[in-house]
A and B are shown apart, each in its own frame.
Chain A
Amino acid sequence: MSKIKIKNFGPIKEGYLDNNGWMNIEKVTIFIGNQGSGKSTVAKVFSTLTWMEKAINRGDIDWTKLSHHIFKGFFKYQRTQNYFRDDTVIEYEGDSAIIKYNRKLDYPEVFFIKSSNFCLPKIIYNVPKIMYVPAERNFLSVVKNAYGIKNLPDTLYTFAEELRKGQLELSGKLLQLPISRLKYKYNNDNETSYIVGENFELDLLESSSGFQSFVPLYLVTKFLTDELQKGENVLREQLNVEQSVRRNKEIAEVMFNNKFNESEKSKKVSDIDSKYLNTCFINIVEEPEQNLFPTSQKQMLFSLLGFNNLSLANKLIITTHSPYLINYLTLAVKVDLLKGNVSAEKSKVKLQKIVPLTSTVSPNNYAIYQLDEEKGIIERLETYNNLPSDENKLNEMLGEGNELFAKLLEIQQGL
């Protein structure tokens, strides 16, 4: 499990008030709050720090030369480099490293987490493939030749790159979408995406805005999840030249070292590979509900949760304005609680009809954080019987219309 502490950064002031400021980032973590409250900021900082941990481990970043200036430079990718203030505090604890930034330190500090006792199991660090799925993703569906446009956010370029790979990987085959019983097809000859129904084929450019937002999200999530299952050879190809040279050098040092026997060599090579090769997927998605009807939001969420459950170390981080997502997450947790106690096949089928049993969420594995844009603080939503409390801002806002309507009736009563 990872955790993060953020203070005085962009819209975030005091940040998280409990647990000495440390927010646990669970397997499923959702951020809710008004626009400008810092939901995406937290998701972006987490994304950047998770990447830093990976890059330090792999040797892409020389942590001994880390300065405040270099540290801030890593935030340019997410366009948050100007969010820093004199009193900014950013701390991160992952499975392999702790990273601390604040101006009182001479330089950002990096500590490695190692088991101090040789009897303890080795700390397992799963190298993550990190994907930040920006809210602007539908841009790639609505603009012809979007790949050639300059000055887009870097996160959108990275996303576009993976989308392109996912499209080519399909090589013309139909891909079943989890919503509305439709399929997706990519024609590489004219570089066009199609939504395919029983009797029609529609250019994605002309399809509904919900598909334009959902298709890229689904395709990239599926592509990256599938890629992790393909084995070491495919994963090795993902390394850039520099990383590949570094890995080969490290392996050569082991192989030509006569101090090690064959079994030790094999173990060491496997350790080196575990630094370089991605073994899990951290999917960070801004507003996955974008332009979707509630039932489609449900199918979309269950499909993301299903991909997230394919590996223990996968994580799904979501920012949202949708009360439906919280409601559907509640269903996924409730079914998880029930499915362990159900043995009859009939009952399992009933549960499966509500939430696919592969998409459930363990009550110990989720967190919902609410951000307050006025106070700049973050609170973790309370739970009851392991379920998310209904006293969350999104649910309350649904009720607000009723209360305002009652006030109008009271005015009418007094006329």
Chain B
Amino acid sequence: MNINFSEAKCQCITEKQLFGICDDPPPPQKQAYIDDEDGSKWIAVVVNEDNQEVTFTAIDNCIEIRSKNGKMAKRCDGALTFDSTIAFVELKERDVKGNKWIKDADKQLRSTISYFEKSDQSENYKIKKAYIANSKKPRFRESQQERMNQFFMDTGYVLRIDRRIILD
């Protein structure tokens, strides 16, 4: 099954230097979207210094990805694409104990990536990234190098756990 990752109803394009990716809490279940006005709603912050034309594609609650048994597969919230770069993004906002939010996000990204890599579109991109963004404070930092390395070995994508997504 070839999934269409570029459905028009799920996409929007921007050239803004700074914008956020938002995901309003349910109910109702809605797709993620980009916004350049209300910073308080931003979960991930995208820095697009060179005003590149960037496409945001909402995936969760928008693009249907079904596993073999017909059930809806785990999906991440969206993807940013420009030139030959694709960056899948999972947004986390709610309080989840310990690093469970990272583990959950890791699974959602891996699942989405595995379906995407089977699609024809994957050949259009050479630089492949994945982001887990959490707007919750405080953000005490910790080393994520083992997880990043494993993620890269398994998927070929460079994972960052960072609220800021810098497009370069």
Q: Which residues of A contact B (CB under 8 A)?
A: 323, 327, 330, 384-385, 387, 390, 395-396, 398-399, 401-403, 405-406, 409-410, 412-414
Partner of A405, one of B126, B137, B141, B145: B145
Nearest CB on A from B153, distance (A)? 10
Residues of A within 8 A of B141 (CB): 323, 390, 395-396, 398-399, 402
Partner of B158, one of A330, A390, A401, A406: A406
Residues of B within 8 A of A406 (CB): 148, 158-160
**What count of chain B residues pass the 8 Å CB interface test?**
21
Query: Contacts A401-B143, A402-B148, A406-B158 given: A390-B138 contact, CB under 8 Å?
Result: yes
Nearest CB on A from B141, distance (A)? 4
Query: Contacts A323-B141, A390-B140, A413-B127 given: A399-B152 contact, CB under 8 Å?
Result: no
A413 to B161, CA, bound (A): 18
Cβ–Cβ contact B158 & A410, under 8 A: yes
Judge if B74 is at the interface, Cβ distance under 8 Å: no
Q: CB-defined interface of B139-150 with A at 8 Å, one 1/0 digit per residue? A: 111111100110
Between A323, A396, A412, A414, the greatest number of chain B beta carbons within 10 A of the residue's beta carbon is seen for A412
Cβ–Cβ contact B138 & A402, under 8 A: no
Residues of B within 8 A of A327 (CB): 138, 140
Give B120-168 interface residues, CB cut-off 8 Å to A. 126-128, 137-145, 148-149, 152, 156, 158-162
Cβ–Cβ contact A402 & B137, under 8 A: no
Residues of B within 8 A of A387 (CB): 137-138
Residues of B within 8 A of A405 (CB): 144-145, 148-149
Residues of B within 8 A of A395 (CB): 139-141
Partner of A409, one of B138, B143, B158, B161: B158
A399 to B144, CA, bound (A): 9
Closest to B128 in A: A413
Query: Contacts A330-B138, A399-B162 given: A410-B149 contact, CB under 8 Å?
Result: no
Q: Which residues of B contact A (CB under 8 A)?
A: 126-128, 137-145, 148-149, 152, 156, 158-162
Cβ–Cβ contact B143 & A384, under 8 A: no
A354 to B141, CA, bound (A): 19
A402 to B162, CA, bound (A): 9
Cβ–Cβ contact B142 & A398, under 8 A: yes
A86 to B9, CA, bound (A): 67
Residues of A within 8 A of B127 (CB): 410, 413-414
Between A385, A402, A414, the greatest number of chain B beta carbons within 10 A of the residue's beta carbon is seen for A402
Cβ–Cβ contact A401 & B145, under 8 A: yes
Cβ–Cβ contact B156 & A402, under 8 A: no
Residues of A within 8 A of B140 (CB): 323, 327, 390, 395, 398
Residues of A within 8 A of B160 (CB): 402-403, 406
Nearest CB on B from A4, distance (A)? 29
Closest to B138 in A: A390
A395 to B143, CA, bound (A): 11
A395 to B159, CA, bound (A): 20
Residues of B within 8 A of A401 (CB): 143, 145
25 A–B contacts, CB within 8 A, in A order: A323-B140, A323-B141, A330-B138, A390-B138, A390-B139, A390-B140, A390-B141, A395-B139, A395-B140, A395-B141, A398-B141, A398-B143, A401-B145, A402-B143, A402-B144, A402-B145, A402-B148, A402-B160, A406-B148, A406-B158, A406-B159, A409-B149, A413-B158, A414-B126, A414-B127
Residues of A within 8 A of B149 (CB): 405, 409
Closest to A385 in B: B137
Nearest CB on B from A162, distance (A)? 35
A402 to B142, CA, bound (A): 8
Cβ–Cβ contact A390 & B137, under 8 A: yes
Residues of B within 8 A of A413 (CB): 127-128, 152, 156, 158
Closest to B166 in A: A403
A406 to B127, CA, bound (A): 12
Partner of B161, one of A323, A398, A402, A410: A402
A144 to B114, CA, bound (A): 65
Residues of A within 8 A of B145 (CB): 401-402, 405
Nearest CB on B from A412, distance (A)? 7
A410 to B127, CA, bound (A): 8
Nearest CB on B from A244, distance (A)? 51
Residues of B within 8 A of A323 (CB): 140-141
- Given A398-B142, A405-B145, 19 more A-B residue pairs with CB atoms under 8 Å apart are A327-B138, A384-B137, A387-B138, A390-B138, A390-B141, A398-B140, A399-B141, A401-B143, A402-B143, A402-B148, A403-B162, A405-B144, A405-B149, A406-B160, A410-B158, A412-B152, A413-B127, A413-B128, A413-B156
